[in-house]
Amino acid sequence: MTLSEYLETCLGTWAKRDAPDRLRNAALGIAGEAGEIIEVVKKLLYHGKLSDECRVLAQGEIGDLFYYIIVYSHERGWLPADLAKIIGAENEGWSSIQSAVKRQAGNEDIFTLAMQLSAASGKLSSFTLNHINSGGNDDKTSVESMLRLEEVSARLSLAGALYAAIEIANRFGLNAEEIAAFNASKLKARHPNGWQVL
């Protein structure tokens, strides 16, 4: 499965709202799911939860994060292949991205990876807030220049969140492509006719 194929599945369950609401929804989704993954790591490290139990929880939360990452990228007009390139993958296939992450993997512990995920999510939140709030500024030239610089940072942060999530998945013995496939089948089963706006 490629990121583009995964995106098509995700868009089938992506709510048909106005563009600003879709971007906000995706940004909140990334922040929320990153927090859920971090919560799983906390349960593993400090609450005595068994690693098998945490593995199951992590699979679901990481899959949900993948969903919001790919739709956020889409809402910003960024190509899935670009996200894969930033990570260092040869193509946009999940297996290629998984391999790129494994090639680059350091010996960070799972706590450090959770904090990296938190930092990437926070940077992306900051970019999204600045992007949404910049519309009413009179100095369009400086705003556009700032947004171009922040957009580069946002793409790196988005890729950083994906990278950290895959690394955390690896620590639980999970595979990114399997997580994406599981999440895609869960989405199709839960929303066979797409998502209806509430």
**Per residue in 22-74, pLDDT tens?**
888 999 999 999 999 999 999 999 988 888 899 999 999 999 999 999 999 99
CA atoms of 58 and 183, how far apart (whole Å): 12
Q: At what angle are helices 51-75 and 176-190 packed, to 10 degrees?
A: 70
* Integer Rg of the chain from CA: 17
CA atoms of 66 and 62, how far apart (whole Å): 6
What is the model's pLDDT at position 49?
81
What is the model's pLDDT at position 195?
62
Which amino acid type is present at position 19?
A: A
Of 21 and 119, the one with more pLDDT: 119
Q: Per this entry, what is the length of the chain?
A: 198
- Percent of the chain at pLDDT exceeding 90: 61
Once rounded to an integer, what is the mean pLDDT over residues 129-151? 62
Rounded to the nearest 5°, which phi and psi values hold at 139?
A: -85, 80
Residue 169 pLDDT > 70: yes
The band of 13, judged by pLDDT with boundaries at 50, 70 and 90, is: confident
Most confident of the following: 65-69, 78-82, 131-135: 65-69
What is the model's pLDDT at position 138?
46
- Could you tell me the two tokens for 188? 């199709």
Cross-strand bridge partners of residue 2: 93
- Percent of the chain at pLDDT exceeding 70: 90
- Residue extents of the structural domains in the chain: 3-190
The band of 105, judged by pLDDT with boundaries at 50, 70 and 90, is: confident
179 within 8 A of 59, measured Cβ to Cβ: yes
Residues near 89 by beta carbon (within 8 Å), at least 6 away in sequence = 96, 97, 99, 100
143 within 8 A of 135, measured Cβ to Cβ: no
Residue 146 pLDDT > 80: no
Once rounded to an integer, what is the mean pLDDT over residues 3-22? 87
Give the DSSP per-residue string, 135-193.
Answer: GG-S-HHHHHHHHHHHHHHHHHHHHHHHHHHHHHHHHTT--HHHHHHHHHHHHHHH-TT
- Could you tell me the two tokens for 163? 């990278």
The band of 136, judged by pLDDT with boundaries at 50, 70 and 90, is: very low
Picking from 16-25, 38-47, 177-186, which range would have the lowest pLDDT averaged per residue? 16-25
Most confident of the following: 44-53, 133-142, 147-156: 44-53
What is the model's pLDDT at position 166?
96
